[in-house]
């Protein structure tokens, strides 16, 4: 065993070390016997002076399993200084195992031969610093963690942001596409609306239950109802007062919309009558087509319709005309046949007077017949535009003398002339004569017993106006507009007047061809004034 610091100078040095605040111990020999330990070191160890002289392991049994004995051995064997920072050591202090941290040095002390005979151990308790470091590290760790979390969140945020951006772009794109589509839709809707509103046909749409849901302006005009009134009804609402063509009420199941719904197929050009409350019956031709939804189920119907009253009236007039014409032709033919048969069978037995009467009756029937045939021929020539006036200059007096003298002689009706009949006109005398004869014969026929006035006057427009005036029963106002139409005849409460209803039509055509005007004024039970004008 080496003596350590044997002289008094050394003792003084040891004393300095003992009192030093730096923890110091000196171990000697391979067992690391504690040769010296100061109070500062004992405080660290949590031991008292009794450890002096014990080996390292004896003094600090709790160090077993910790690396210090090994390090001491290493220093002893290699002679190399060992320095440590912040190294943990667990020591039993006041009965408790306490881990503290130390900066320490194991410094080998060598003799003159270069052998290590002692190890100087100095230590500083850096637990506080370690704690501070630990706190700093923990804080740094936390910050790091927070930073990492923040970075991850930031990353996520970036990704999300990018996704959002992308979604936003897609959204903007799809909004602009939607806007474009809406614009296309709007303009096609507008086009459709314009078509529906300007269409010459009425159009109504019904839902699956037959309830009207739309009616275009023409439908409102034809039906004489506003859209809200129409939408208040089903297609077979009894308020429409729909009729069959024979005038009987139209049952719901016969309505073209019902037929279409029942069969699921379109119905074309089906005519029905409509009797509105305060109007005359009118006729419409309906096309009914089904509407199917995307699954092919019946979803409603579209009805387009036109007012065909005029067409129907012409057809009706033609039908009436054929029956009237047959009847009108049959009457004189029967009379003619009867007269001729009688003459054929018994002319040699009949007295002269009777034969003359039969012959004149036959002649009258023949004349009547040829008049009817002439009217028919005139009408068909008029329709084809073949009747051109052959104009000549004549005075109205001459015309009346030529055409009316026979008529005046044949009838006991008084016919008087008024006004200026000496004016010269340029016209077709035969055709104008026909118009005057027609007016006069009508007055004789429809105003029996009345005086007839034929008047001529010059109008402010330099025309000659001829009127035939009677004091007969007159004509209802609502009929006046129709008198000059083809086949039109008024019904005189069962009174039977023969005629084809062509005379006034032919007259109107003649006057029109002469560039004149024709008309009638009439008042019930006061009489009528039929007139025409010719340019002078
Ligand atoms: P028609 O005499 O062959 O019936 P018209 O065309 O000459 O045909 O006359 C048309 C209709 O006008 C007649 O059916 C008659 O009802 C009416 N009418 C014509 N003239 C008179 C008149 N002077 N007074 C009353 N009704 C008349």
Give, as one character, the DSSP assignment of residue 46: T
- Are β-strands 242-243 and 267-274 bridged in parallel, bridged antiparallel, or unpaired? antiparallel
204 lines ligand 1 (CB under 6 A): no
Give, as one character, the DSSP assignment of residue 236: T
Q: What is the pTM of this model?
A: 0.51
Interacting residues of 252 by C-beta distance below 8 A, sequence separation 6+: 236, 258
Angle at the Cα of 287 from the Cα atoms of 284 and 292, rounded to 5 degrees: 145
Cβ neighbours of 451 (radius 10 Å): 14
- Ligand 1 mean position, distance from CA 450 (Å): 15
CA atoms within 13 Å, Cβ hemisphere of 309:
11
Give, as one character, the DSSP assignment of residue 108: E
331 backbone dihedrals φ, ψ, rounded to 5°: -60, -55
CA 472 to ligand 1: nearest atom: 24
Give the separation between CA 204 and CA 218, rounded to whole angstroms: 10
470 lines ligand 1 (CB under 6 A): yes
- Ligand 1 mean position, distance from CA 504 (Å): 7
Tokens 């849901």 locate to 213
pLDDT tens string, the chain, 536 residues long: the values are 444 444 456 677 788 888 888 899 999 999 999 999 999 999 999 999 999 999 999 999 999 999 999 999 999 999 999 999 989 999 999 999 999 999 999 999 998 888 899 999 999 999 888 888 878 888 888 888 888 888 888 888 888 888 888 989 999 999 999 999 999 999 999 998 899 899 999 999 999 999 999 999 999 999 999 999 999 999 999 999 999 999 999 999 999 999 999 999 999 999 999 998 888 899 999 999 999 999 999 999 999 999 999 888 888 777 777 877 887 788 889 989 999 998 898 888 888 898 899 899 999 889 888 988 888 888 888 878 777 889 999 998 888 888 778 777 777 888 888 998 888 899 999 899 999 999 999 999 899 889 999 999 999 999 999 999 999 999 999 889 888 887 776 654 445 666 777 889 889 999 999 999 999 999 999 999 999 999 98
CA 489 to ligand 1: nearest atom: 14
493 backbone dihedrals φ, ψ, rounded to 5°: 35, 55
378 lines ligand 1 (CB under 6 A): no
Give, as one character, the DSSP assignment of residue 233: S
In order, the DSSP letters of 431-457 are: HHHHHHHHHHHHHHHHSTT--EEEEEE
Say if CB 57 and CB 63 are below 8 A apart: yes
Give the separation between CA 28 and CA 5, rounded to whole angstroms: 13
CA 442 to ligand 1: nearest atom: 20
531 lines ligand 1 (CB under 6 A): no
Q: Residue of the nearest CA to atom 4 in ligand 1?
A: 501
Helix, coil or strand: residue 165: helix
Tokens 């086949």 locate to 487
């Amino acid at each position: 065993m080496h003596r350590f610091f044997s002289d008094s100078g050394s003792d003084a040095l040891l004393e300095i070390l003992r009192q030093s605040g730096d923890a110091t111990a000196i171990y000697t020999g391979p067992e690391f016997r504690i040769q010296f330990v100061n109070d500062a070191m004992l405080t660290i160890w949590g031991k008292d002076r009794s450890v002096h002289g014990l080996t390292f392991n004896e003094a600090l049994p709790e160090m077993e399993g910790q690396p210090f004995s090994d390090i001491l051995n290493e220093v002893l064997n290699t002679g190399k200084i060992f320095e440590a920072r912040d190294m943990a050591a667990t020591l039993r202090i006041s009965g408790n195992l306490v881990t503290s941290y130390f900066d320490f040095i194991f410094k080998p002390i060598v003799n003159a031969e270069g052998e290590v005979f002692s190890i100087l151990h100095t230590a500083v308790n850096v637990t506080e610093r370690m704690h501070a470091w630990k706190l700093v590290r923990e804080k740094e760790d936390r910050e790091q963690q927070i930073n990492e979390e923040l970075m991850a969140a930031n990353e996520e945020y970036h990704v999300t942001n990018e996704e959002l951006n992308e979604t936003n772009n897609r959204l903007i794109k799809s909004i602009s596409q939607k806007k474009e589509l809406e614009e296309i839709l709007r303009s096609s809707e507008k086009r459709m609306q314009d078509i529906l509103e300007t269409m010459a046909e009425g159009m109504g749409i019904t839902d699956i239950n037959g309830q009207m849901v739309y009616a275009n302006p023409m439908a409102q005009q034809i039906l004489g109802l506003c859209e809200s009134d129409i939408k208040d009804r089903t297609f077979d609402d009894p308020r429409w007062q729909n009729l069959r063509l024979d005038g009987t009420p139209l049952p719901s199941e016969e309505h073209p919309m019902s037929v279409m719904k029942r069969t699921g197929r379109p119905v074309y050009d089906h005519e029905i009558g409509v009797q509105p409350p305060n109007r005359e019956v009118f006729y419409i031709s309906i096309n009914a087509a089904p509407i199917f939804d995307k699954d092919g189920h019946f979803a409603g119907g579209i009805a387009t319709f036109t007012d065909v009253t005029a067409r129907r009236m012409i057809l009706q007039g033609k039908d009436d005309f054929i029956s009237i014409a047959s009847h009108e032709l049959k009457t004189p033919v029967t009379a003619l046949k009867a007269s001729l048969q009688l003459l054929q069978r018994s002319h040699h037995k009949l007295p002269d007077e009777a034969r003359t009467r039969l012959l004149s009756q036959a002649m009258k029937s023949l004349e009547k017949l040829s008049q009817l045939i002439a009217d028919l021929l005139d009408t068909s020539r008029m329709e084809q535009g073949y009747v051109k006036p052959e104009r000549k200059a004549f005075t109205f007096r001459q015309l009346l003398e030529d055409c009316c003298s026979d008529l005046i002689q044949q009838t006991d009706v008084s016919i008087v002339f008024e006004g200026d009949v000496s004016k010269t006109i340029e016209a077709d005398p035969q055709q104008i004569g026909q118009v005057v004869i027609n007016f006069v014969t009508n007055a004789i026929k429809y105003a029996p017993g009345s005086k007839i006035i034929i008047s001529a006057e010059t109008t402010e427009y330099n025309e000659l106006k001829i009127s035939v005036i009677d004091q007969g029963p007159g004509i209802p106002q609502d009929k006046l507009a129709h008198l000059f139409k083809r086949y039109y005849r008024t019904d005189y409460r069962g009174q039977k007047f023969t005629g084809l209803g062509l005379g006034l039509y032919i007259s109107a055509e003649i006057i029109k061809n002469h560039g004149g005007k024709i008309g009638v004024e009439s008042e019930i039970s006061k009489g009528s004034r039929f007139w025409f004008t010719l340019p002078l």
